[in-house]
Amino acid sequence: PGAIICPNVQIGKNCSIGANVVISFSIIGDNVQISSGSVIGDSGFGFEKTKSGVVQIPHVGLVEVGNYVSIGSNCAIDRGSLGDTKIGANVMIDNLCHIAHNVSIGEGSVVAGQCGISGSVEVGKDVLMGGQVGIAPHLVIGDGAVLTAKSGVTKDVAPGIQVAGFPAVRAREFWRIKAKQRRQ
């Protein structure tokens, strides 16, 4: 009930669209679940400062969602500005996540609740993100990386590396610093 599927949206087979979902400018694969209240394909936050003020940049790309993706309640996945926003197959996105324009998330990645991924971030395959992770724009997160809960990622993360803290550093270093602080 209350879901809106805009013109020219493609939705594959065996999909489940929850109440009050809005989908525009999107290509949705097969066996996708989109939970209540999510907005897929709306314009992202793009602007340019000019002498006469701030001007919004139109977004003309799409959102491409692969097969067997699960998108939780009240998520926002923005359409691309010039290119597309891409969610790979078998990705799981928890509730209350924001995925900005031109982001790509590789197959098998998991994004826990309240994560925010800024524009043009490339997330590799099989990446695990804990709750409330924030990622700065234009970064690359390597395949198999682990971003622990509440990490503030401000630099690229190499494949297979686990990071923690703000600004995010290798998890082992983060926990060593925390242990030293507790002893003081």
Name the active-site residue from 59, 98, 101, 138: 101
CA atoms of 23 and 9, how far apart (whole Å): 7
Tokens of 87: 């969610």
Quickly list H helices, 35-156: none
Is residue 131 a contact partner of residue 149, using CB atoms and an 8 Å limit? yes
Q: Report d(CA 18, CA 173) in Å as an integer.
A: 42
Residue pair 47/57 in contact (Cβ under 8 Å)? The answer is yes
Active site residue 101: yes
Peptide bond into 159 cis (omega under 30): no
Taken in order 130, 166, 80, 142, the sign of the CA dihedral is: negative
> Taking the CB of residue 38, how many other CB atoms lie within 10 A of it?
24
Active site residues: 101
